[in-house]
Amino acid sequence: MFNKRIKIKELLAQEPTGQEVTVMGWVRTFRNNQFIALNDGSTNNNIQVVVELGSQDDDLLKRITTSASLKVTGTVIPSLGKGQKMDLKATAIEILGDSDAEIYPLQPKKHSLEFLREIAHLRFRTNTFGSVFRVRHALAFAVHKFFNDKGFVYMHTPIITASDAEGAGEMFKVTTLPFDKHQEPKKGP
C-alpha cells in the first residue's frame, strides 16, 4: 500500500506527462466538492486533486474534510489554473482516516503563534513551522555530516542542568572548588 505511492515533493518536481500515480496525505482544503489541496509533509506545497463531478460517491465526498487522510490514485495532467503547473485528476479516492471538522483546531486560515503553542502536536502541519523544521533539519544535518566526515562520534551524555524539577536538584552540590572528601563543607555564615 505505502510502497507504491509517490511523495508530493517528488511529483511536483516532475513534468505533467499523463502518468498514473498514487499519493497519500492529509487534506488542507476542499472546495466546491471538486478541488482538494493535499499535502504529505514532504514539502510546503500542495498538490491539487481534481475530482470530476459525479465520479465519486456523495457519501465519500462528505467525509473529505480538513485534515482527513486520503489515498488518491489518478492521472497527472497540466493545470488549467494559475499557481501550479499540474493537477492530479482523481480516478480513485480512499479515506484512510476521518477528521471531524467541527473539533479539528487547524482550519484553512492564519493562526497566531500563541495559538499554535497550545497544539504542539499539529504545529508541523502549518507552513510556518514546516519551514522552520526544514531549516533546522538542514542545519543539524550539515553539522552532523561535517563532524561525521571528520571521524567524530555523536553521543548523548548525561547533563547536569540548572533546571530543578521536583526538588531533585538539592540532591547534588556542584562546585568548582577542590573537594576533600575528609572535610565537611562549612555551613552558615
C-beta pairs of 158-167 under 8 Å, 24+ apart in sequence:
none
In this structure, what are the phi and psi dihedrals at residue 123, rounded to the nearest 5 degrees?
Answer: -60, -35
Give the three cell numbers for residue 159. 547533563
Average pLDDT, the chain: 83
The band of 113, judged by pLDDT with boundaries at 50, 70 and 90, is confident
pLDDT of residue 156: 82
Residue that has been written with the C-alpha cell 487522510 in this structure:
69
Q: 8-102 in CATH: which number?
A: 2.40.50.140
pLDDT surpasses 80 at 121 = no
Which contiguous run of DSSP H or E holds residue 49?
Answer: strand 47-50
Average pLDDT of the segment spanning 93-101: 87
pLDDT of residue 189: 60
Q: What is the pLDDT of residues 149-171, one digit of tens each?
A: 999 999 888 776 666 666 665 66
Q: What is the pLDDT of residues 5-51, one digit of tens each?
A: 899 999 999 988 889 999 999 998 888 889 999 999 899 899 999 99
Cβ count near 52 (within 10 Å): 11
